[in-house]
Chains A and B, each alone.
Chain A
Amino acid sequence: MIRQGRLITLISNLFEERVIITKAYEDELHLEISKDETLIVAVTLRDWGFPLIQLTATDERGINGQFRLFYTFANDEEKFLIVVSVCVAEGEQSFPSIMNEVPAAHWYEREVRDLFGLDPIGHLDKRSLAVHEDWPEGLYPLRKDFRLDSEVPRTSGQFLYDRVEGEGVIQVPVGPIHAGIIEPGHFRFSVVGDTVLNLEARFFYTNRGIEKLAEGKTPLATLPIVERICGACSFSHTTAYCQAIEKLSGTEVSTRVKDIRTVVLELERLYNHVGDVGNICAGIGFAFGTMQGARLREELMQLNEKVFGSRFLRGINTPGGVRRDISISNINLILVTLEKLEQEFKEMVEIMLDTNSYMDRVQTTGILWNRTARDLHAVGPVARAAGIDRDLRRDHPYASYDRVSFKVPVYEQGDVLARVKLRIDETYESINIIRQILVSMPMGELTQQLGTEMIPYNYAVGMTESARGENVHFIMIGKDQTIYRYMVRSASYVNWPIMPLIVSEDIIPDFPLINKSFELCYSCLDR
């Protein structure tokens, strides 16, 4: 346990005048260090048990002639974040890679190279990630001198997949357009017979330039964009975003707003978890589970529309509050629907877990080891099913989670079954949370003006625990109260690179099943 005060003393003693520490917000410490110290600071924070939850960059050449990198670490026990910023002078265009010491940094560093043109010295993977092979060299979309409406020509280039060679080894390319109703991504399997030796996945097909789109827009005008980062996690993304804006502007929302947000966040988790538990059955061909899950999910979607006017819970959040209230009759509607749902869901999962052909496929399939999950910072149900006891709702409470009681289920096995069971347990907890809130919701203002004027080039981090795990939104405010830099690190962003690792030695027919049990989203990774 390292409290904020003690951490400040420890860091000041270690790094003396080479570090500037600011207590920016109640739950955020900002450290400024020089580039040479990056590795030692990252290793120190890692050794104190703080996971790296985000790494991104900003282009501040127009203000002070330099780029800046931001490393966000989380102290879960004491519920605060440590944002370490490092300046990179315009002429240098490189920074030391920390991926060998902090493996969770591997994708972030490649993304910073692709989007800002800053080279992570010592990174083992030189290939592009966030832009594809036909993107011209020397063009970096998130630099300020790159215009949103630029016409970018296609160049010829090649992406080199890892090759596995030997007798009987063949490559199976799949995607980007898949056979089902799924989002696009490319998978390259190296197999012998049915057994997968290696899988490489390639993403960023659905990149819509969301982060660039937000730049220069007011917080309110950005909100519809945030809602559309991901369809199925729409509300948890907007909540993370609104919380960051409210932090920057010193706005304190009413308890009623927090309560409504909590209820909606849990409704979102519910329709996702219920749908996923059913949908995992589709990876096995167990139609009973697939259809029952789809039916219950649809009931929840219809409830969403009746209460909030949107099946995907859009149009509710706004910076400084919520735009929709929950009336007494709707409180009853939610409670009655959930009571029925709980009973039906229980019957469905009992039958599911009692069916041998189902259990045979999910047990010991796609095991994620605790060490891998920890090193690569897995999040959400995927991490909790691999023995990582971490849930932002408890560890970094937001909205009304500090005034309700709930359990955080954890499983050690790390297989498909553990991930299913975890979602089942969380479904009951979600219903429990909604009940606690709905019976004790005080009246209060729904929306309010954003508090103080936001200071240009201040930054803050907003976080939520979506159905897929931790969402981290980094916002830096520019002049005229508009957004200067917006970085969205969704749960899928950290879980996607883990999934291909655990498929090895399973068979190809198990891949859809493992993939479904991870339940990852492409659009909130690609943005």
Chain B
Amino acid sequence: MLRIFSKSLKTGIVTTDYPKNPTVPASGFQGLPEWQEQSCDLCGQCAHVCPTRAIKLQKSKSESFWTVDPKRCIFCGYCVDVCKQHALIQGVKYELAELTESVVRAPHVTAFKHSVHIRHLDSGSCNACDWEMTTLTGPVYDIQRLGFDFVPSPRHADVLMVTGPVTRNLEIAVHKTFAATPAPKLVLAVGTCACSGGICGKSYASSGGVNTIIPVDVFIPGCPPRPQALIQGLLKAAGRALNTNV
């Protein structure tokens, strides 16, 4: 027992202060592709190799430019590798959470702004997103310090964090879990599969994203999203602006 105490004291505090001081990932981070207009010759190879068709050419009267949909991107970097003009780089931005109209219009979540109970719902993920959510409950990210916690039943939850593209064999479970969660509730689609189907797309086995089955309020892109990106998504969902009042 004494050894447990002494080891714990020696370990000290390991918890990050995110979101106060967001860290920048080291160089070489596999982030969202960023497009540099001046060197691009619009050859379209990037869009061609993209496994999830996340890159699209936008045309307006005066100019054409490429856009990357973070909800589709799996951060593989194939577009960066294939670009002969070096017009693409993988950026370091990872806080990519997006609110949908439903939250913007009806901020009903203020009711549980500082005490948010989360239920995880795996709808067919590869378990990477799940592992990152487990990490949130560990000593390093410790989301309880921010008023968030995971609960064992949807009946106790304010928020459903859904990972995976919703497979055929989990569709019914997703419907039932959503129905069992009391209103007001929010649905967070966590990871690229949940946001858009990702590499699974739409097929006999996969529905192609959580919002094809139940309404989604917040998208948290990433493959998987880093723990900080998950925290940012949760704070956004709870209507708490970043870097203030946390």
Using a CB–CB cutoff of 8 Å, the interface residues on chain A facing chain B are: 132, 141, 146-152, 176-177, 179-184, 204-210, 212-213, 220-221, 224-225, 227-232, 234, 288, 291-292, 294-295, 297-298, 301, 305-312, 314-315, 323-324, 347-348, 351, 354-355, 521-523, 526
Contacts and interface: CB of A to CB of B under 8 A. Distances in A.
A230 B129 CA distance: 11
Contact of A295 (B139, B153, B168): B139
A299 B3 CA distance: 22
Contact of B124 (A148, A149, A206): A206
10 contacts: A148-B204, A208-B164, A227-B76, A228-B198, A231-B128, A232-B128, A301-B135, A309-B25, A312-B128, A314-B76
Interface in B43-78: 49, 51, 74-78
A295 B138 contact: yes
Contacts of A292: 7, 11
5 closest A-B pairs by CB: A231-B128, A209-B205, A294-B138, A179-B152, A309-B30
Given A224-B76, A305-B26, A306-B26, A181 B200 contact: no
B204 A152 contact: yes
Contacts of B7: 288, 292, 347-348, 351
Given A184-B122, A315-B30, A150 B204 contact: yes
Contacts of B169: 132, 204-207
B29 A305 contact: yes
Contacts of B202: 149
Interface centre among A181, A291, A312 (most CB of B within 10 A): A181
Interface residues of B, number: 64
Interface centre among A180, A206, A208, A307 (most CB of B within 10 A): A208
B38 interface: no
B122 A183 contact: yes
Contacts of A176: 170, 173
A254 to B, nearest CB: 19
Interface centre among A141, A227, A311 (most CB of B within 10 A): A311
B150 interface: yes
Contacts of B30: 309-310, 314-315
B106 interface: no
A209 to B, nearest CB: 3
Given A176-B173, A523-B126, A181 B133 contact: yes
A206 B120 contact: no
Interface centre among A152, A182, A308, A523 (most CB of B within 10 A): A523
Contacts of A229: 126
A182 B124 CA distance: 11
B207 to A, nearest CB: 10
Contacts of B127: 183, 230-232, 521-523
B8 interface: yes
Contacts of B76: 224, 227, 314-315
A496 to B, nearest CB: 14
B165 interface: yes
Interface centre among A150, A180, A228 (most CB of B within 10 A): A228
Interface in B1-58: 3-4, 7-8, 11, 14, 25-26, 28-30, 49, 51
